[in-house]
Each structure stands twice: as C-alpha cells, then as structure tokens.
C-alpha cells in the first residue's frame, strides 16, 4: 500500500485576478487532502503558491530569480494540518508566473526523491493563465517550455493543469491567453496528461480528481465469435458508482502510550442451541445453514448447494448481431465496460478494429454472453457497441452494457388521461403552460450544458467528507449549512428561475390549487357501509356529501362486539393525542381477556384479528413497545399452558415482533423477529 503512494505538489495561483475563486480553490484542495486521509493516507503532498508579494523557495536563495513564489508547505505525508493550511491560502498582490512555479515544484520533487518513484510524482497547477510569463534569456518561450517538459518526462513527472476562466477573463488579453494555452498544451502532450478549462465554481469543484483509481481488468481471455475465430481481449470497467467509504469501528480501550495500537474492533459470533438445554457453543462443523419457508426453517448443506449450483464456464461468446436501433438506451443496466485488444498483440488489435469499423458502417451491435470469472454463479447478457477512435495512437475498442432479462423488466402501466371525465381534462391553455414549464427546465437551452457530468461532483459525498473532517476536529459540532457551491447542484438556478418568471406565473394562473373536498372515511364508517351494503348503488359524490353532512361518531371505548373496528375508529380521532394511547391500551387488555376466557380456543381467531389490528396501528404510530411486550406475554402464556394452536395461528398470519426496520424505536432485529415463531413453539411433552 505504501509503495503505491503518490507524491503531489499543488501549484496555486493566488494573484489578484484569482481572488474571486480562491475560496473555491481552498475547498477543492482541502477536499483532496480529506479524501487522501481516508483512501491514501501514505500519500505525500506539498503546497506552492505564486503571486505573493514575498518570495520563499530554495531556487530564489540558491540561483536567484523565481520571485513572488512561496513554498507554503514542504512535501510531507498528508495530515490534518495540511487541511488547515489549504483552508487559509494567502491573497497575493502581484501577478504570478506559472512557469516559474512549475520549475520550483519540479525542484522540490527532484531534491526529495531524485530518480525514485517514477510515474508516482505529479504536479497540479491551478491558475487562470491570463498574465504573460517572463521572456527567456535564451531562445523563445516555447523552447524554454519544451526543455522543461522534456526534463519533467525524464524524471517521471506528470503535470495536470486546471485553467479557471469564465467571468475572470472577460477583460484579459486574448493574445496572452492563447499563448499561455499553447505553452500549457506542450506540457500536456509531453507528459501525457490533461489540461482542463473551467468557468464556474461548480465545475472547478469537480475538475481535480481527488481519488486515484487504478484500472483493473475484470476479464482477460478470448472474445469468441465462433468455435474457429477468437480474439484475445482485456475488459475494464469504464464507469463505476462512487460509494460511501467503509467506516470501521474504533476502540478507545487501548492505552494512550501504545503508539502501535490499531484501535480496531473485532466482532466474533457464538452459536448455541435454541432450546436452551445446552449452554455449550456449537462448533462450525456441526452447523448448517437454514432457509425460512413460511414458519419453518429448511436446512440445506453445502454439499447440496454445490450439487445444484449453476457453474458456467468462464468466457465471452457472441450470440449474434442486430441493428443498433433495436437496442433502446433505457435498457442499459449497471456499469459500462470497455473491451480492448490484448496490449501488444497486433493481430488482435487489427481484428478488433476491423470488426468495430464494420459494425459502425452497418450500424450494428453485437449481443454477448459473458462469464467474467471461473465459478461465477450468474451469466451476463449485454450489447457490444463499437467505439471508433479519433486518435491514430489509440486503437479502436468496444463499449459493453448489460441488458435486462425478462424478470428484470418493469413495465408500469398508467391510465390514459382520456379515461378521466371531461371536467378533469386540461384545456389548451393549461397544456401550453405545462409544456413551457418542461421546456424551461432544460439544462442546456443554448447548447451548453449547465452541469457537465465530468465536472459535477456528487453533492452527497462532498457533503459527507466535509462534515466528516469537521467532526474529526470538533466531535460536538453541529451540521453546517449547505455550501453555496453545492446549492448550485441540488437547488434550482436562481438566474434561470428569474429569467422564466413569466412561465411560473402562467402556471399559477391556469392551475388553481385548492383543498380536496373529499374527506377520508374512518375505518368504522367503511366497515358499517361494507356490512350493510347500503353504498352499493350510491355514487361517489353522494357518498362524500353524506359523510360531510353527518357528524362523526366518537368512539370512547372498545366494545366486545366489534373490537377491531372500535380500535381503528379511536385511532382515527385526532382531536386529542390521548386517544391513540388509550386505544392501544384497551385493545391490548381486550386481547388478554380473550385468551384467558377462551374455552378450548373458541376465541383464538378473534384474538388473532385483534393482534393483527394492534400490530398495524403500532407500526403506523411508530409505537412498537406495547405490541412487542404483548407478544412476549403471549409466548410465555402459551408455554405455561401448553397451547399449540395459538402460535400456529399467529405464524400463519406472520404476526411476528415489530423489528427496527418497521419502527425506528424498536430494539428487535429482523433476525430476532423471524425466529420469534420458532421460540413460540411449545416444548414437546416428555
């Protein structure tokens, strides 16, 4: 892990023309260090700022020149102090020279690492590049840049340039900017790195790749077109969802004097018999996995699983070709894969290029059956799309997208507006207002996309990392307000809303919002109507009017005749919060009374109906305690009385404990809820 560490020097322009975006640069660089602390804690980083009034670097002392450049932080392993340093960048007063800053950064890397760690040394330049650099004493500026770029390539260094323009460069000299862009492109070509141009704070936030993800092949083998024609290919993942980091448990039990303590928490599990007859731990060789089938648990051994498990052979086969128009974009699933010819294999490269260009010319795609590794349990079927390269140095390749099976397709049927009454149909003005609203929400109305996917970071992850860094320093700190840059991603653009105010006004004018006159029927009213059948031929409008005209009947006590309906009616009475507590308490007492006064189980069915109603009501009110206590009491009662029929009735209705997934206040896990029926089974008579 440590041998793959990166050595990075940040070259930051802090001159007067950059003051408008320095706050965003501080956030970007701080986020870079915060992610390195989580994912690459062995990486080393240094900070150089240029455009300062003072000069503080080794080259100024040793050879002279290189003015207005300050080494803010020497190269060292990333830590929390670096975050504090980057959050308080100085504001310079002179226009800096980015070429001098590049030389200072190179000098720092050469002195510290010399010829070691080739390919792991990197410079990152952030500037607007709107000011001219100094003339060279010998040769042109281009010759000077070419010499520095060749020296950089010889030392195994790479440079990434982020050029911030936009509003900051409106009054700048276009000739100077073009010259600087040309000089930076030389670095990009010589070191095979990218140069990025950004014009908004949001795109700046996503311009710097804060995590280095090493590409790993998911498959190396043959692409089989037929039994007699195979091409050696490598398959990589082109895109992958970035997820939250895995946070491990941290223990403070280790003494503070022990510097080698890992503070890790290890969790181990012990398995014991559920009948409670033995307290000894069951060894692994005596355990077997069980799978629930209704109230029963079916044991299936590993040998049985291996006997029925599907074991496809590793490989990729072409099932056929079809027209690209037949494969819809919305059918693509999961991540995108990249198929390339085996590196260094000329014949494979020519074969991939020939097939890709033929498919492109015929507008065809290939359907593939893929098994990425030996022993993989599932087979992937997807579409292979040609990717013709525009650079002669980069060979042609394929993109692969997973397609759904029949059981993966979800077809949602929505009723047509034509089936609604004429009074519900939108008129022409309403339809026009709705169309204009949808068209206004286009993120690229002028052909330029507002939130470029490549430069728009995940706002949830960015928010998480910033809060995590704050909590590391101040454990009791409150959640800070949402950053203004992230607001631009998750909230509507104020300028876009202001420009289209007339569209919103038209929508408000043609769509009047009002309260729904229909009142929700109480459970008691619904039950009475169902029993009497009086509403069988009554229209919906008459039913609503009858409910509006009749005053609601208040239920103050759960009776013996219809306890479930009385409970639902009491739960729906919201004029006093005490009704809910009273309803739960009375139904609980009613269930216990039914069990106690039952004659050979004649009232068990009614008790089960009451238990079902109580469980539903406690979940809706997020009050799992009374119900779970009742279930434990019922289990104890059945065990003492040797009752078998009641647990079976409860199991058939799946009336188990309320788990934490159903109610947040519950202390019952899903596993405990599932195993509750097993524990409720009475002990066999000896």
**What are the structural domain ranges in the chain?**
6-207, 315-408, 427-510, 563-675
Dump strand ranges (E) for 343-482: 364-371, 380-387, 397-402
Identify the pLDDT of residue 97. 87
Tell me the CA distances in angstroms from 307 to 302, 311, 313, 572, one per residue in order: 9, 10, 16, 55
Identify the pLDDT of residue 381. 94
Q: Are strands 364-371 and 380-387 parallel, antiparallel or unpaired?
A: antiparallel
Q: Of 626, 617, 611, 622, which Cα lies nearest the Cα of 656?
A: 611
Cα(424)–Cα(434) distance, integer angstroms: 15
Identify the pLDDT of residue 275. 65
CATH (residue range 6-207): 3.40.50.410
Identify the pLDDT of residue 523. 47
Backbone φ and ψ of 341, nearest 5° = -70, 155
- Residue 479, Ramachandran bin (φ over 0: left; ψ between -120 and 50: alpha; else beta): beta
Identify the pLDDT of residue 322. 95
H or E element in which residue 474 lies: none
Q: Of 144, 135, 129, 125, which Cα lies nearest the Cα of 174?
A: 129
Spans of the chain below 50 pLDDT = 1, 519-524, 526-528, 530-531, 533-552, 684-686
361-370: string of b/e by CB count within 10 Å (b at 16+)? eeebbbbbeb
Identify the pLDDT of residue 320. 94
Torsion of CA 371, 372, 375, 377, to 10 degrees: -60
Identify the pLDDT of residue 542. 39
Tell me the CA distances in angstroms from 26 to 39, 52, 53, one per residue in order: 20, 16, 19
CA 626 to chain centre: 37
Cα(369)–Cα(315) distance, integer angstroms: 8
Place of tokens 């040309």: 182
Q: Domain 563-675 adopts which CATH fold?
A: 1.25.40
Q: Domain 427-510 adopts which CATH fold?
A: Ku70; Chain: A; domain 4 (1.10.1600)
Cα(623)–Cα(621) distance, integer angstroms: 5
Cα(154)–Cα(115) distance, integer angstroms: 9
Q: What is the second-level CATH architecture of the domain 315-408?
A: Beta Barrel (2.40)
Tell me the CA distances in angstroms from 169 to 95, 163, 172, 186, 452, one per residue in order: 14, 11, 5, 22, 21
Identify the pLDDT of residue 678. 65
Cα(119)–Cα(193) distance, integer angstroms: 12
Q: Of 626, 612, 611, which Cα lies nearest the Cα of 666?
A: 626
Backbone φ and ψ of 158, nearest 5° = -130, 150
Identify the pLDDT of residue 444. 74
Tell me the CA distances in angstroms from 586 to 179, 387, 573, 594, 646, one per residue in order: 84, 70, 15, 12, 21
Tokens matching residue 94 = 């002179």
Tokens matching residue 311 = 């074991």
Q: Which residues contact 454 (CB under 8 A, 6 or more apart)?
A: 206
Reported as a single tens digit per residue, the pLDDT across 472-528 is: 888 888 888 888 888 888 888 787 788 888 888 888 888 877 766 554 444 445 444
């Amino acid at each position: 892990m440590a041998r793959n560490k990166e050595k990075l020097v940040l070259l930051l322009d802090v001159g007067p023309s950059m003051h408008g975006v320095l706050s965003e640069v501080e956030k970007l660089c701080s986020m870079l260090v915060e992610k390195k602390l989580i994912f690459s804690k062995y990486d080393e980083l240094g900070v150089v700022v240029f455009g300062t009034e003072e000069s503080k670097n080794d080259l100024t002392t040793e050879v002279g020149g290189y003015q207005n450049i300050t080494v803010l932080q020497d190269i060292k392993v990333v830590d929390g102090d670096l975050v504090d340093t980057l959050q308080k960048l100085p504001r310079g007063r002179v226009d800096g020279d980015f070429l001098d800053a590049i030389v200072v950064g190179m000098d720092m890397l050469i002195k510290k690492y010399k010829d070691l760690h080739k390919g792991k040394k990197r410079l990152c330049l952030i500037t607007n590049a709107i000011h001219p650099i100094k003339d060279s004493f010998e040769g042109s500026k281009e010759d000077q840049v070419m010499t520095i770029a060749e020296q950089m390539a010889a030392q195994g260094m790479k440079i990434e340039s982020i050029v911030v323009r936009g509003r900051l460069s409106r009054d700048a000299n276009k000739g100077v900017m073009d010259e600087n862009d040309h000089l930076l492109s030389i670095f990009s070509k010589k070191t095979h790195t990218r140069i990025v141009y950004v014009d908004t704070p949001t795109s700046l936030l996503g311009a710097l790749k804060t995590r280095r993800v090493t590409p790993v092949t998911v498959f190396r083998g043959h692409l089989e077109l037929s039994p007699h024609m195979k091409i050696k290919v490598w398959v990589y993942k082109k895109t992958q969802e970035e997820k939250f980091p895995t946070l491990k448990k941290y223990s403070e039990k280790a003494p503070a004097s022990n510097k080698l303590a890992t503070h890790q928490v290890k969790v181990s599990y012990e398995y014991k018999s559920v009948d409670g007859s033995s307290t000894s731990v069951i060894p692994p060789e005596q355990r077997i996995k069980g799978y629930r089938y209704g109230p029963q648990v079916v044991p299936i051994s590993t040998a049985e699983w291996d006997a029925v498990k599907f074991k496809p052979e590793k490989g990729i086969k072409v099932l056929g070709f079809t027209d690209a128009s037949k494969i819809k974009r919305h059918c693509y699933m999961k991540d995108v894969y990249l198929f390339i010819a085996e590196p260094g294999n000329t014949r494979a490269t020519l074969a991939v290029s020939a097939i890709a260009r033929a498919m492109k010319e015929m507008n065809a795609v290939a359907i593939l059956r893929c098994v990425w590794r030996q022993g993989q349990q599932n087979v992937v079927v997807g579409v292979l799309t040609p990717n013709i390269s525009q650079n002669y140095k980069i060979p042609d390749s394929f993109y692969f997208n997973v397609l759904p099976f029949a059981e993966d397709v979800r077809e949602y049927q929505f009723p047509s507006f034509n089936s609604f009454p004429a009074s519900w149909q939108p008129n022409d003005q309403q339809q026009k207002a709705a169309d204009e609203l949808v068209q206004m929400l286009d993120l690229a109305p002028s052909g330029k996309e507002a939130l470029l996917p490549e430069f728009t970071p995940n706002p949830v992850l960015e928010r998480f990392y910033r809060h995590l860094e704050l909590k590391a320093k101040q454990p009791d700190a409150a959640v800070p307000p949402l950053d203004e840059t992230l607001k631009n991603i998750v909230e509507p653009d104020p300028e876009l809303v202001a420009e289209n105010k007339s569209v919103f006004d038209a929508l408000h004018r043609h769509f009047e919002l009002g309260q729904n006159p229909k009142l929700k029927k109480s459970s008691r009213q619904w039950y009475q109507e169902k029993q009497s059948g009086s509403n069988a031929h009554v229209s919906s409008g008459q039913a609503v009017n009858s409910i509006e005209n009749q005053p609601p009947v208040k239920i103050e006590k759960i009776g013996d005749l219809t306890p479930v309906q009385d409970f639902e009616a009491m739960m729906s009475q919201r004029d006093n919060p005490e009704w809910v507590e009273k309803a739960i308490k009375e139904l609980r007492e009613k269930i216990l009374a039914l069990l106690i006064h039952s004659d050979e189980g004649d009232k068990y069915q009614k008790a089960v109906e009451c238990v079902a109603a109580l469980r539903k009501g406690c979940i809706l009110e997020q009050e799992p305690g009374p119900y779970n206590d009742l279930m434990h009491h019922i289990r104890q009662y059945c065990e003492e009385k040797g009752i078998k029929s009641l647990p079976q009735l409860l199991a058939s209705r799946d009336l188990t404990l309320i788990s934490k997934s159903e109610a947040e206040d519950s202390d019952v896990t899903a596993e405990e809820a599932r195993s509750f029926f097993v524990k409720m089974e009475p002990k066999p008579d000896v």
